[in-house]
Amino acid sequence: MPEKPSSSGVNWFPLIAILLLVAAFSSGATGGIFRLGGGGAETGSKSKEGTVEEITKRKESIGRSEGTVEESARKPTPTPTGEPTPTDSVKSQYDGKVRVSTGRAKETISANEYVDITTRFLEKNEKINITGWRLENSKGERFIIEGGTYVVFPGQINSRQSIILESGSKVHIITGTSPIGANFQTNLCTGYLNQYNKFQPALRNECPRPEDEKTAQNLQDECIEFLEDLPRCQAPTNINATTLLTCQNYANQEINYSKCVLNHRNDTDFFKKEWYVYLGRSAGIWKEKKETITLKDSQGKIVNTISY
């Protein structure tokens, strides 16, 4: 009878391998240690930051507090502590040094309508250039102050320079057009210009008297008496034929604006602290009532405001 094979001769390896594979598949389905697709966090599983639900809720909470990207972009950027806001610098550095007054702003005719700008409390030798400054009315209309000429000559093209003021200066800002075609600084002789032009306000008649001119010192007494009768700041017209010819010639040639400027331009008191500036408007720009006039410097900062 043949012998039975010994149990030690059986090959158990295939059977063990099959059992291990079955166990592995079974563990993957039930969440055991051989779970398939490992590495992903399961719902409800814990991590160092908490469960997935907890992390998601925290992010949603942060998102609600910060808003969306678009909402964040619309939020104003806070001004750092200690830095001025734009409204802190509205006032001009000339506030308190230059002021505007109504003058005759309530006039209805542009040639007669004007406001005044004056300077005060300036330091010694301090100068202020108002060229490019502007006036504004309650409608928001803006009117630029342009340059002018220091020694004006009617009937000529006058060069335009910056208007520079010192303490105690006054500038008449007339709405209409200049009778002599220019903005100008007054001087010792500009009173002569009243004779053939109408200014509002009228120019000061501060011209040297004809008989006091140095060129008159050698004239005969009869001529001196004739000159004493002439109105101040007026060129003679309709001279009586009985007047000595030398007196007539002297008066016609020497008593006028151009000669006055020539003879006195270098005098220390020749230039006056007064300007006439024209806006060139055909109609009034200031209201008769409930008007606010604002003066701003060349940077658009408020220098002075007046209401009536």
Q: What is the pLDDT of residues 178-203, one digit of tens each?
A: 999 999 999 999 999 999 999 999 99
pLDDT at 256: 97
- The reply to whether 133 and 257 lie within a common domain is no
- The reply to whether 245 and 98 lie within a common domain is no
pLDDT at 50: 54
Give the range of the structural domain holding residue 242, as residue numbers without chain letter: 207-268
- The reply to whether 168 and 251 lie within a common domain is no
Count structural domains, the chain: 2
pLDDT band at 240 (very low <50, low <70, confident <90, very high): confident
pLDDT at 47: 46
| Residue 73 clears pLDDT 50, i.e. is over it | no
- The reply to whether 98 and 116 lie within a common domain is yes
- The reply to whether 248 and 276 lie within a common domain is no
Find the range with the poorest average confidence among 104-113, 165-174, 236-245: 236-245
pLDDT at 131: 98
Segment (H or E) for 63? helix 52-66
- The reply to whether 240 and 279 lie within a common domain is no
- The reply to whether 96 and 184 lie within a common domain is yes
Q: Which has the higher per-residue pLDDT, 45 or 146?
A: 146
- Assess if residue 66 is contained within a domain: no
Q: Which residues of 129-153 are buried (b: 16+ CB within 10 A; e: fewer)?
A: ebbebbbbbeeeeebebbbbbeebe
Angle subtended at Cα 306 by Cα 303 and Cα 308, rounded to the nearest 5 degrees: 170
pLDDT tens string 200-214: 999 999 999 999 999
- Assess if residue 115 is contained within a domain: yes
Find the range with the poorest average confidence among 8-17, 144-153, 240-249, 252-261: 8-17
pLDDT band at 51 (very low <50, low <70, confident <90, very high): low
- Assess if residue 57 is contained within a domain: no
* Cα distance between residue 176 and residue 183, in whole Å: 11
CATH of the domain at 117: 2.60.40.1260
- The reply to whether 132 and 167 lie within a common domain is yes
| Residue 13 clears pLDDT 70, i.e. is over it | no
* Cα distance between residue 107 and residue 287, in whole Å: 9
pLDDT tens string 91-123: 999 999 999 999 999 999 999 999 999 999 999
pLDDT at 93: 96
- Assess if residue 139 is contained within a domain: yes
| Residue 130 clears pLDDT 70, i.e. is over it | yes
* Cα distance between residue 63 and residue 119, in whole Å: 59
The stretch 12-22 carries a mean pLDDT of 64
- The reply to whether 230 and 119 lie within a common domain is no
- The reply to whether 104 and 243 lie within a common domain is no
* Cα distance between residue 105 and residue 308, in whole Å: 10
pLDDT at 242: 83
pLDDT at 90: 87
- The reply to whether 100 and 227 lie within a common domain is no
- Assess if residue 84 is contained within a domain: no
The stretch 154-168 carries a mean pLDDT of 96
* Cα distance between residue 164 and residue 23, in whole Å: 102
What is the CB neighbour count within 10 angstroms for residue 66? Answer: 11
pLDDT band at 74 (very low <50, low <70, confident <90, very high): very low
Contacts of 205 (CB under 8 A, 6+ apart): 191, 194, 232, 233
- Assess if residue 293 is contained within a domain: yes
- Assess if residue 19 is contained within a domain: no
pLDDT at 292: 98
pLDDT at 75: 40
- The reply to whether 232 and 145 lie within a common domain is no
- Assess if residue 121 is contained within a domain: yes
pTM of the model: 0.71
User: Which tokens hold the place of 179?
Assistant: 């009778």
